[in-house]
Amino acid sequence: MSDRTESGASEGVAGRNLPTLELHVPEPKFRPGDSVDFSHFDIPAADATARPDEAVQPAQIRDLAYGLIRVLDEDGGAVGQWNPNLPPETLLRMLRAMALTRAFDARMFRAQRQGKTSFYMKSTGEEAVSIGAALALARDDMCFPSYRQQGILIARDWPIIDMMNQIYSNTGDRLKGRQLPIMYSAREAGFFSISGNLTTQYPQAVGWAMASAAKGDTRIAATWCGEGSTAEGDFHSACTFASVYRAPVIMNIVNNQWAISSFSGFAGAEATTFAARAVGYGIAGLRVDGNDVLAVYAATRWAADRARSNAGPTLIEHFTYRVEGHSTSDDPSAYRSAEESSLWPLGDPIARLKQHCIRLGIWDEERHAAMDKELAEMVRDAAREAEKNGILGHGLHHPMESLFEDVFEEMPWHLKEQQQQMLDEWKAAGL
């Protein structure tokens, strides 16, 4: 007999022997106070993954979206087909850039706690994601980062004092205090303005890459977002455009396991990997040990060569861990076990490269300690210089009326009126 009435509506099913419908609500494995056990992680050996040709069809390498590309093994060796065989000077440059990023983060975090700025975001534990990529890309390739890739600016030798001026929104801030601290913009470094609106950089990067190709240029684009941000619609429209037009772009997902207090399961990690998003779009997808800077370098180089030869875009998931809070406004001890970061099975990216360099005989503990000291002093001196240009709470660093500037080439009459009204009221209030 039909379940439908003449009008086509479904009759009630009460009394029929069906299970009650329910939703699956993801729950992180470990909460504050829990002891942590990561033994369920499937970590392939560093030399276990074959490296295909860069021009391969995406359907031929689906496995790479579910595996984990690694180069550095547990003993500090660099092994397997993905080993980029970098010369000592590049390895040491990587090590220094990662250590400088960490020293910069430590100093600026402290500056926020001292009330010198309102906000800061660290990238602790994720330094390899930015540094490995920045060194694998050409200097004039265009980067569309999220707020946790300060390492790109550092790897591109951007002056840290300029970054600090932005963090302090002071007179040296080229952005005139109009951006939240850490939302840098550096055209000359190929570093697109960071936006607080998650994942807007994804379609922008794809559009930039398409424009580069349409103009007959040779530069490619790269973009980064967090694993939580893949739930944004912008992520998916970007993937569609990238796939359809085979845009010369590298799309990076930094899977650091957390999106503020939401664990990666809420963005889909219980169902599949983030690299597997590529499969549905017919894009090449790679899943990489994000704490292995050589693996990040090798995967980025592969994707860059692929893009440069018009073979199409690549989506790379960097499997890593956010060691610190989301930002200075966050307290991770409220929602996750403190043991997680120390027991993270893929280790610390700086410690792993350091071990490799020591094993190669090009580095030692003494030189490392001396470098850390030198970088801490360098960052301290730069901060002191930047602080001379002003810090939070020391009054206005840019004239009030500049609020109205830099939108129109010629300020329209109605804005001029409003600007004057503001200044008159400001004066009348005795401010």
Ligand X SMILES: Cc1ncc(C[n+]2csc(CCOP(=O)(O)OP(=O)(O)O)c2C)c(N)n1
Task: Give contact residues for ligand X (rule: CB under 6 A).
Answer: 148, 196-198, 225-229, 254, 256, 258-260, 322, 326
> Between the CA of residue 307 and those of 192, 247, 251, what are the distances in Å?
19, 7, 11
Q: Report which of 382, 373, 380, 381 is spatially closest to residue 96, judged by C-alpha positions.
A: 373
- Shortest separation between residue 329's beta carbon and Mg ion, angstroms: 15
Q: Which residue number, 83 or 328, has a Cβ lying nearer to Mg ion?
A: 328
Dihedral pair phi/psi, residue 72, rounded to 5° = -80, 125
Residues 6+ apart with CB under 8 A from 103: 372, 375, 376, 378, 379
- Provide the phi-psi class of 250: left if phi over 0, else alpha when psi is between -120 and 50, else beta: beta
- Shortest separation between residue 52's beta carbon and Mg ion, angstroms: 28
Which one-letter amino acid corresponds to residue 135? Answer: L
Which does residue 306 touch among ligand X, Mg ion, none (CB within 5 to 8 A, set by kind)? none
- Shortest separation between residue 425's beta carbon and ligand X, angstroms: 32
50-58, 102-110, 128-136, 228-236 -> range binding Mg ion (CB under 5 A): 228-236
Q: Which residue number, 156 or 322, has a Cβ lying nearer to ligand X?
A: 322
H/E stretch holding 143 reads strand 142-144
Query: In a 3-state reduction of DSSP, which class is residue 318?
Result: strand
CA atoms within 13 A on the CB side of 272: 14
In the bound complex, which residue of the shown chain has the CB atom lying closest to ligand X? Answer: 226
Residue 313 contacts Mg ion per CB under 5 A: no
Residue 226 contacts Mg ion per CB under 5 A: yes
Q: Which of residues 237-296 bind Mg ion (CB under 5 A)?
A: 256, 259
- Shortest separation between residue 322's beta carbon and Mg ion, angstroms: 6
44-52, 138-146, 217-225, 227-235 -> range binding Mg ion (CB under 5 A): 227-235
Q: Which residue number, 68 or 194, has a Cβ lying nearer to ligand X?
A: 194
Residue 121 contacts Mg ion per CB under 5 A: no
Q: At what angle do helices 88-113 and 349-360 cross, to 10 degrees?
A: 150
Which does residue 196 touch among Mg ion, ligand X, none (CB within 5 to 8 A, set by kind)? ligand X
Query: In a 3-state reduction of DSSP, which class is residue 262?
Result: strand
- Shortest separation between residue 280's beta carbon and ligand X, angstroms: 20
Residues that bind Mg ion (CB under 5 A): 226-228, 256, 259
